[in-house]
């Protein structure tokens, strides 16, 4: 099931339309593959969940490396852009595992989001968001938005919610705003994050352990969706995050995947589906 979109405002309706089309009492899992630059990933997830609240969902937003120019999907024998594809998996014999883990370190003070509109951030602590962000990046600021992949934001809505990571997709010098892959609600709190190579690789391992927990050695396919920011940080060590996943899930499953601008999955088995950034998200599939 595929849906064409025009801009980010279509994201919720597109998610709901895909979920409606796939919905059936035998629906077990949905994998969603999306354009990476014209979609609000958080709204897409909300739209999907609105129609299939009891069905697990995983997937990701296509990436264009650090270029942020154009992303595409393969739909059958066609290459399409500005589109979202939903794949429905049906039947009681299907077993699905999933997890999403990061490994980034927060630093600096926590700041209050004082002005935002969905995924566009205007002010932090009453000051222009882009100005504050640039002050932390130093020499990296001249390479925005691509350098933003190295410095995501950790966001929490309240003290009782798990932090979500948000990555920049675009900046606007005119109004000093930052556009993210997912929503940054007003009155939420954010902190800057930076990479720790050992923790990134450890995050991939933790994700594999959680995704494989209930399937043990029965998995037949593992889909790995890793943020392109992780690839930029790990550089020549990038193969290690795939190798640690292989060590956990064993030699039986085939492994496939891609690098993304946003990952879609629950944190773990009993968590709601969310849009993540800068994570290794793993979906494992097997059939009894």
Partners of 258 in the β-ladder: 225
Same domain assignment for residues 91 and 230: yes
Same domain assignment for residues 37 and 169: no
- pTM equals 0.87
Which residue, among 18, 22, 274, 15, has the nearest Cα to 155 in the 3D structure?
274
Q: What pLDDT is stored for residue 155 in this prediction?
A: 93
Q: What pLDDT is stored for residue 216 in this prediction?
A: 65
Using an 8 Å Cβ cutoff, are 69 and 62 in contact? no
Calculate ∠ Cα 212-218-219, nearest 5°: 60
Same domain assignment for residues 7 and 88: yes
Residue 24 backbone phi and psi in degrees, to 5: -165, 155
Same domain assignment for residues 121 and 140: yes
Give every CB contact of residue 117 below 8 A, 6+ residues apart in sequence.
Answer: none
Same domain assignment for residues 166 and 24: no
Tally of domains in the chain? 2
Same domain assignment for residues 175 and 214: no
Give me 220's structure tokens: 């037949």
> The domain containing residue 134 runs over which residues?
105-194
Residue 162: other Cβ atoms inside 10 A: 9
Same domain assignment for residues 89 and 114: no
Of 194, 210, 226, which residue sits at a domain end? 194
pLDDT tens series, the chain, 288 aa = 899 999 999 999 999 999 999 999 999 999 999 999 999 999 999 999 999 998 999 999 999 988 889 999 999 889 999 999 999 999 988 999 999 999 898 888 999 999 999 999 999 999 999 999 999 888 999 999 988 888 999 999 877 777 889 988 899 999 999 999 889 999 999 999 988 899 999 999 999 999 988 666 678 999 999 999 899 889 889 999 999 999 999 999 999 999 999 999 987 677 789 999 899 999 999 987
**CA–CA separation, 179 and 162 (whole Å):** 22
Of 194, 222, 255, which residue sits at a domain end? 194
Same domain assignment for residues 13 and 97: yes
Same domain assignment for residues 201 and 190: no
């Amino acid at each position: 099931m595929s849906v064409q979109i025009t801009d980010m405002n279509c994201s919720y309706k597109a998610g709901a339309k895909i979920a409606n089309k796939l919905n059936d009492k035998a629906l077990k899992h949905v994998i969603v593959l999306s354009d990476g630059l014209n979609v609000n990933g958080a709204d897409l997830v909300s739209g999907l969940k609105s129609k299939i609240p009891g069905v697990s969902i995983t997937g990701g937003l296509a990436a264009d490396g650090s270029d942020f120019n154009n992303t595409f999907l393969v739909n059958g024998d066609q290459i399409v852009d500005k589109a979202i594809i939903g794949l429905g998996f049906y039947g009681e014999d299907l077993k699905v595992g999933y997890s999403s883990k990061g490994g980034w370190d927060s630093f600096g003070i926590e700041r209050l989001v004082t002005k935002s509109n969905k995924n566009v951030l205007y002010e932090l602590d009453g000051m222009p968001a882009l100005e504050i962000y640039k002050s932390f990046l130093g020499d990296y600021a001249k390479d925005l938005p691509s350098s933003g992949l190295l410095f995501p934001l950790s966001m929490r809505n309240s003290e009782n919610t798990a932090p979500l990571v948000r990555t920049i997709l675009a900046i606007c010098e005119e109004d000093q705003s930052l556009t993210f892959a997912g929503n940054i609600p007003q009155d939420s709190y954010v902190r800057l994050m930076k990479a720790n190579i050992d923790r990134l690789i450890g995050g991939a391992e933790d994700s594999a352990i959680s995704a494989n927990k209930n399937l043990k050695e029965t998995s037949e396919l593992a889909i790995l969706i890793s943020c392109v920011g992780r690839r930029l940080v790990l550089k020549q060590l990038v193969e290690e995050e795939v190798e640690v996943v292989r060590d956990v899930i064993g030699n039986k499953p085939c492994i496939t995947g891609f690098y993304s601008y946003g990952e879609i999955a629950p944190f773990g088995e009993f968590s709601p589906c969310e849009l993540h950034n800068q994570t290794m998200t793993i979906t494992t599939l097997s059939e009894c």
